[in-house]
Structure 1
């Protein structure tokens, strides 16, 4: 293992538009490498790979400058969503690790089986665009193991969309939502897993705003 004292922080030149990664993170990554010989004889590819393992790092370029300086240019992932509660997705649907609490802006929460990251992200983007004219947005989108979709809107309404014809069912919701007018605040969930119509779960009058609801099919 390397001795941290053999790689002074002043010998690392860190470049890039960085928010989450620090020179100390890079120093720590280098310090934990097994090595043969001196620092300057270390394989540059090994150094680069070690930096790319740092949370938030998307790409890295490492150059050595004799006698004792290493220049590191980094590009960070840009978080688009929180993935399965613990990781994040960047703008290309790539999963990366990092401190979720470090995100300043509120991000949508997406959930899905492994390998569905890009599908879920793209579905979120498309569906959120459909909902925008209503002044609504998606706060959570779930693709479960059975490949059925569930949406939680920013106003708390839950939509059950099932496996098939998701976009058509979302359009059906939009049409229904416009007809409901002031009644939307009384809705707990809307089940659209029907060929036509939908089942609307209403909050009982005495329990409005609670998690209990009564269901009635409309349409």
Structure 2
């Protein structure tokens, strides 16, 4: 009896299923791309941002100005608007220290703003906060009555820290700081509102200032000091205002002490 030949298994259904899956995947990919394209093209029209609300105290930049700046750069609708870019734009305004933005359905962006709060002027054109952040406002009025701090920008945190401490120490002695400066060599100088200049030098400045505060009643009892040079290891010298006359120069001889200056 002749041997019956076996028929090969049909593989066609499996091939068709693989092709079907590939086709479905391609269609899904195309559909996703089309949906993204439609979202980009139509989302800003279907879900536009109609309102930008500003929260927080704005003393130097009005809410209207901030709203106008953000509106000019606004792209997309409520779902696609780039909040990080808008935050960076808000924080580029000189007086704005920090801004945070959030979406509020269906058509609002809320912006919360915290402004820089300067404690002093910084060099010729800037302002500085208690944290030592330097900013330079453009086209805005600088608050009146602020003291002047001077130094390199990178030393701003150190200068402001010392200013805040020395301000409190001197206020207890009845004095206010008008100018505090440190030069590139690290030489510190104070000018008081009463017109007296304190030269503290480059080292042991805390000790030297404490020495002045302790001796201030004795110095002021003698007259009006113009310059108090504290750059000595264990003393200071006083230059009196010219109107004090010979009697006060005699007092200054007794107040000045010996010591190496530095």
Change (3 A) 1:181 1:90: closer
Quote the residue 2:128 is aligned against.
89
Cα displacement (A) at 1:206: 8.2
Quote the residue 1:3 is aligned against.
none
Quote the residue 1:180 is aligned against.
219
Quote the residue 1:197 is aligned against.
235
**TM-score (normalizing by structure 2):** 0.67
1:101 aligns with 2:141: yes
Cα displacement (A) at 1:31: 5.3
8 Å Cα contact 1:12-1:23 kept in structure 2: no
8 Å Cα contact 2:118-2:129 kept in structure 1: yes
Residue by residue, what CA displacement relative to the aligned partner does 1:111-160 show, whole Å, maximum 9, x if unpaired?
A: 11121111101111221222222211211100111111000011010011
Bigger Cα Rg = 2
In structure 2, C-alpha distance between the alignment counterparts of 1:97 and 1:151, rounded to whole Å: 23
Please identify which structure carries the higher strand content. 1
Cα displacement (A) at 1:87: 1.5
Moved segments of 4+, more than 6 Å: none
Secondary structure of the residue that 1:161 maps to in structure 2?
strand
1:22 aligns with 2:65: no
Change (3 A) 1:42 1:53: same
Secondary structure of the residue that 2:54 maps to in structure 1?
strand
In structure 2, C-alpha distance between the alignment counterparts of 1:206 and 1:154, rounded to whole Å: 19
**TM-score (normalizing by structure 1):** 0.79
Cα displacement (A) at 1:97: 2.8
- Gapped runs of 5+ residues in structure 1? 1-9, 208-214
8 Å Cα contact 1:108-1:140 kept in structure 2: yes
What is the correspondence of 1:131-170 to structure 2 with a 5 Å cutoff?
A: 131-170=170-209
CA RMSD of aligned residues (A): 2.6
Please identify which structure carries the higher helix content. 2
8 Å Cα contact 1:109-1:139 kept in structure 2: yes
Change (3 A) 1:114 1:45: same
